[in-house]
Structure 1
Amino acid sequence: MTFLRTISRSAPRAAARLTSASTAVRTTRLSLAAVRPSTCSVASCLRSANLTRTSVSAFSSAATRQSPANTEVDSELSSKLASEIQFETEIRENEPEATSVKDFLESGLFEIEDVPGREEVVLRRTYGNEKISVTFSVADLANFDPEIYDDDAALADEDMEGGSGARKAEDAGAEGEEDLENESASVPCRLSIVIEKPGQGALSVEATAQDGGLVVDNLYYYKDAAHAHEPSADAAHAAQQVYPGPAFGSLDEDLQVLLDRYLEERGITQALAVFVPDYLDAKEQREYLGFLNNLKNFVDA
């Protein structure tokens, strides 16, 4: 509707400009035709035509400079943004802080680094002579597609069990199927964990927090700690040329268990796995509210 109104408003103006231009052209032609060669030199005719073109150009420039800065669309957009801001603010005020977030932050185990406007959040702590950092991003929430995730999980089950997953689904009762349909997909949150020792390099751990559990996907060792952090393009390129070790799942099962316990002693626990998704959910709401406010300020300026 706004687009149609804009067209309806702009159409008379465009028609008026075309009419004015046509009238000016006809006036110029009549003036030139009415002047006799004996009484008007060629130079004077050209000067007259130049004056006409100059006046039309000046009128066009003046009309452009006098165009309104804020239109009806701007006003409607600003009002809509104000409504969205009020709605999101009320949600934020009425939803208490998650217990998992409150308890984890009050424990003081990690210091949190969360800069407004940035996607990544970093947890930092020291453990003996080790420096430990855990990085996760709100982008995991924005990019999560539950349909794609469910399809991938179903395909993985079929590959692992030789299709038995499909047969189990067919044999399940009506009550079980209804529970699965009503259950919302949980967002998998990726964690980048770095454990660094002075002069000894670093361990780089890729893990996933989901459904209150923490799963280690990969664990690598780098002699140069900069390769684990990858702060620059050069360091990232150099890290790709280093053999960091095999995939975590291919290690001996007992070794995997001991490495899990090693991480738990350093605070990489189930409490962290519960905290991360809840904290990212609250951060995403804060960032979205900030986005709306920034957008409204820009439109209103």
Structure 2
Amino acid sequence: MSAFRVLRSLTASSSRAVSARTFARSIHVPRLGSQLAPRAAVPASRWFSASAQVMGDGSTDLALSQKLAEELKYEQEASTEAGEPEFLTAFKGRGVWEVENVEGSDEVALTRKFGNESIRVVFSISDLQTDIEAEEFDGAEGEEGEVDAPHSSPVRCSISITKDAGVGALTFDAMAQEGLFVIENISFYPDGKLGTEMTAEADWKRRGLYIGPQFETLDVGVQEEFIRFLQERGINDDLALFIPELIEHKEQKEYVKWLGKVKGFVDV
């Protein structure tokens, strides 16, 4: 089925993907006596009066600020990218999808026109998940002694298709992982606005509606035609490879900005 797999078992567990930085960074533990080297003692009153000019009243503020500064420096030095990454520039250069990526926002959206249809693919930083089963085998030797390649984190996607005639909205819940889209279910909403709005009110109204069948319960022939339907509209293996890469890039950028903002708050 080309870029798609039929989801045979659904799990309710999901967790935020653990960033590679957690494993890349070494933990430095000071040796006993490392602070016992002779040096001139600084009076406590002088230390507090100097820090009070730039810190709050908390006794832990300075230590927290220093650790945030260390983390920020590490992340900035670890990033070799200057400006927009090459994979994102190449994706935009194809002229098929528009990327809606608002700074500070948790979500990213890809949009395009296809004939009289408007197509929107939405995914979120918070939907990064850890493929637990894959992680159990990461680093394990294969049948021929080869080490398995690391698995990318799955990203939950909401795909919506509306038509200019205003005849409703067709929506797909899917996962993008390892260059594949795993379709979970397909819903149809006679009210296109209700089917596409990303608000708490719209979400509440949708909860009382029939969301459609699980994709795997459909006739195999129907499944295959839906797959071709999506592929023709650009929901294919290339997009499934691009989405996890984009969301990980955005999460890293937002994390670095978060570090700077939090440090600035602590320092006031």
Cα distance in 2, alignment partners of residues 285 and 234 from structure 1: 31
Please list, as runs of the form range in 1=range in 2, the aligned pairs for 1:84-123 lying within 5 A after superposition.
84-93=71-80, 100-123=87-110
Residues 98-140 of structure 1 show CA distances to partners (whole Å, capped at 9, x for unaligned) of 6543322221211111111111101111111111110011112
Q: Alignment partner for residue 266 of structure 1, among 225, 228, 233?
A: 233
Q: Which amino acid is the alignment partner of residue 204 of structure 1?
A: T
% identical aligned pairs: 38
- How far the C-alpha of 1:145 sits from its partner, in A, is 3.9
**CA shift at 1:89, angstroms?**
1.0
- SS across alignment from 1:112: strand
Which amino acid in the other structure matches residue 101 of structure 1? L
1-structure distance, mates of 2:99, 2:141 = 45
In the alignment, does 2:201 pair up with 1:214?
Answer: no
| 2:162 alignment partner, one of 188, 191, 196 | 196
C-alpha distance in 2, partners of 1:274/1:260? Answer: 17
Q: Deviations for 1:201-248, whole angstroms, at most 9, x for unmatched residues?
A: 010111111111112111111111123224444432332333343221
* Alpha-carbon offset, residue 178 of structure 1: 5.8
Corresponding residue for residue 238 of structure 1: 205
Give 2:195's match in structure 1, choosing from 208, 216, 228.
Answer: 228
Aligned residue in 2 for 1:62: none
Alignment of 1:1-301 (within 5 A): 68=52, 70=55, 73-93=60-80, 100-141=87-128, 144-147=129-132, 175-176=142-143, 179=146, 183-197=149-163, 198-301=165-268
C-alpha distance in structure 1 between counterparts of 2:135 and 2:141, whole Å? 20
CA-based RMSD of the aligned residues comes to 3.1
The CA deviation at 1:260 is 0.8
The amino acid of 2:179's aligned partner reads G
Evaluate the alpha carbon distance shift between residue 175 and residue 240 of structure 1 in structure 2; reply closer, same or farther with a 3 A threshold: closer
Decide whether aligned partners of structure 1 residues 178 and 73 sit closer, same or farther in structure 2, where only a CA change above 3 A counts: farther
SS in 1 for 2:245: helix
How far apart are the structure 1 equivalents of 2:117 and 2:141? 52
Change (3 A) 1:85 1:264: same
Residues 184-204 of structure 1: CA deviation (Å, up to 9, x unaligned): 343111110000013210101
Distance, in Å, in 1 between the alignment partners of 2:95 and 2:135 is: 36
Q: Tell me which amino acid in the other structure corresponds to 1:87.
A: Y
Question: Cα distance, 1:279 vs. partner?
Answer: 0.7
Structure 2 SS opposite 1:207: strand
- For each residue in 1:63-115, what CA deviation from the matched residue of structure 2 results, as whole angstroms up to 9, or x when unmatched? xxxx9462663223222222211211122225897654332222121111111
What TM-score comes out, normalization by structure 2 length?
0.70
User: After the TM superposition, which of the residue ranges 109-118 and 288-297 deviates more from structure 2?
Assistant: 109-118
Judging by fraction of residues, say which structure has more helix: 1
Contact map agreement 1:130 1:195 (CA 8 A) in 2: yes
Count of aligned pairs between the two proteins: 215
Question: In structure 2, how many angstroms separate the alpha carbons of the residues matched to 1:213 and 1:96?
Answer: 28
Q: Which has the larger radius of gyration?
A: 1
Cα distance in 2 for residues equivalent to 1:278 and 1:231:
23
CA–CA distance in 1 between the matches of 2:245 and 2:115? 29
Amino acid at match of 1:93: T
Task: Write 1 or 2 for the structure with the bigger share of strand.
Answer: 2
Partner Cα separation in structure 2 for residue 118 and residue 293 of structure 1: 16
Which runs of 5 or more residues in structure 1 are unaligned? 1-12, 14-66, 154-172
